[in-house]
Amino acid sequence: DGGITQSPKYLFRKEGQNVTLSCEQNLNHDAMYWYRQDPGQGLRLIYYSQIVNDFQKGDIAEGYSVSREKKESFPLTVTSAQKNPTAFYLCATKLRTANQPQHFGDGTRLSIL
């Protein structure tokens, strides 16, 4: 979606290294989310944040960390503790009002060599 930028599009890292995925938005949305997609599966929630300086774990938070120092930015760090980090990572944003859809960036494909 326009207004949500994920970078880079493709990322390669060696095993054992931490890597940070960027998500920036100019939609003025309060809430931001990180999902992971694996082949043949739906999206699974890693972390989410409803407001600056606050975030909560999703269903598969182990091995990941996030920060929310600015409203526009919600970076995701994939740590060496994540056992199977190779996946397609998607960032989403949403207005805090009820019954509003989440809007997604174009994703980052992370491959661990």
Partner 1 sequence: DQQVKQNSPSLSVQEGRISILNCDYTNSMFDYFLWYKKYPAEGPTFLISISSIKDKNEDGRFTVFLNKSAKHLSLHIVPSQPGDSAVYFCAASARETSGSRLTFGEGTQLTVNP
- Residues of this chain that bind partner 1 (CB under 8 A): 1, 4, 6, 31, 33, 40-45, 48, 50, 56, 58, 88, 90, 92, 94, 96, 98-107, 109
Whichever of 82 and 102 has its CB closer to partner 1, that residue is 102
We find the least distance from the C-beta atom of residue 54 to partner 1, in angstroms, to be 10
Q: Do the Cβ atoms of 35 and 11 come closer than 8 Å?
A: no
We find the least distance from the C-beta atom of residue 16 to partner 1, in angstroms, to be 26
We find the least distance from the C-beta atom of residue 50 to partner 1, in angstroms, to be 5
Nearest to 60 by CA among 33, 40, 39: 33
We find the least distance from the C-beta atom of residue 43 to partner 1, in angstroms, to be 5
Whichever of 1 and 18 has its CB closer to partner 1, that residue is 1
Helix, strand, coil share of the chain (percent; to 5): 0, 50, 50
Where would I find the H helices in the chain? none
Residue with tokens 């661990």: 112
What tokens were used for 111?
């491959």
Nearest to 23 by CA among 59, 64, 60: 64
Whichever of 67 and 80 has its CB closer to partner 1, that residue is 67
Whichever of 85 and 105 has its CB closer to partner 1, that residue is 105
